Amino acid sequence: MARPADRFPEIFGASEFLKKYPYFLPCAVPATFTVIAWIVTFLFLKETVKAPIPVRSLLSRKTTSDEIDALADIPEDERPLSFRKLLIAKVIIAGGNYSFLSLVDIGFRALQPLFLSTPIELGGLGLAPHQIGKILSAFGVLNGFCQIFFFARLHDYLGSKKLFTIGLTCGLPLIALFPIINGIAKTEGLSPLVWVLVGSQTVLSVGLSFSYGWPSPFLLRCGAYSPISPITGAVFIYIAAASPNRASLGGTNGLCQMTVSVFRAIGPAATNGLFSLSISEGYLGGFLVYYVLLATSAVSLGVASLLPGQVLRRT
């Protein structure tokens, strides 16, 4: 959808707005999806906390008598734990795996369009924006299809840990294919072999997404973690099961999401910076960024080995 006035002049050619803002549509469409998701969440998702804390209490250190009485009516094992009490081994291991998975994933996602758009002679593939968009769109469609029709079966057959580990393992060939694709493109141009490897990389990236899976709101709400749910994600199973009690699900998830957010902030800047540095300075033959990402993937596999083989079901 980038530069629609230039690419589709018969439809958008008369729009001065889109000529002035050629990237408005690619930004407006996902923003619209976000608004729709917010509305659906606000209107239809049910509250999961028996005694939700008002927002004003989060902004003030004072606790009202009504809030104290509400908490007093809740059994001890159903009360949210403090931040310090959440820092136990299984929460740290689950959060660490989520963080390293996010770092590997965001590193690849940030590097992929940069690699595809960089000229071949500089280490990329030299594709146009609309070509890159088609590749990323193909991944989106393929990933959604595989998550719906294959994730549950693979999860039932392999289990959470094996599926999570296999997904992380896909990160190794994903990264290794970047210099291979560029090397062939330098020799043969955009040959059929190059497109086959780009397609293979897209398929492998779906495997990496299997390590996420989809978290089930129902399972999070009732506190029952079953490996047979078709929408229960591998890493989210571990995060939910690591929570000391049902009331601490939000705190456990929030702690993990906070850590992941830090990794996701660092990942794109570090990856793109290393890519530029590798090209401009020629470190390790221009492949420094790939060595770093491969090392990160290897470390993430080591962290994954700490996960328990089975996730206990909570009732």
Query: Which pLDDT tens digit goes with each residue over 22-53?
Result: 999 989 999 999 999 999 999 998 877 666 66
Do both 280 and 189 map to the same domain?
yes
Give me the pLDDT at residue 197, please: 96
Q: Please report whether residue 75 resides in a domain.
A: no
Do both 235 and 159 map to the same domain?
yes
| 61 pLDDT above the threshold of 50 | yes
Q: Which of 152-166, 235-249, 253-267, 281-295 has the lowest mean pLDDT?
A: 235-249
Give the distance, in angstroms, between the CA of residue 188 and the centroid of all CA atoms in the same chain: 34
Give me the pLDDT at residue 282, please: 81
Question: Is the C-alpha dihedral spanning 292, 295, 299, 304 positive or negative?
Answer: positive
CA dist 218 and 233 (Å) reads: 13
What is the average pLDDT across 115-144?
91
Do both 215 and 135 map to the same domain?
yes
| 54 pLDDT above the threshold of 80 | no
Give me the pLDDT at residue 220, please: 39
Do both 160 and 253 map to the same domain?
yes
Do both 90 and 25 map to the same domain?
no
Do both 19 and 92 map to the same domain?
no
Do both 28 and 93 map to the same domain?
no
Domain count, the chain: 2
Looking up tokens 């959604």 gives 144
CA dist 184 and 182 (Å) reads: 5
Give me the pLDDT at residue 55, please: 64
| 239 pLDDT above the threshold of 80 | yes
| 72 pLDDT above the threshold of 90 | no
What is the average pLDDT across 251-280?
89
Q: Which domain holds residue 37?
A: 4-44
CATH of the domain at 161: 1.20.1250
**71 falls in which pLDDT band (50, 70, 90)?**
low
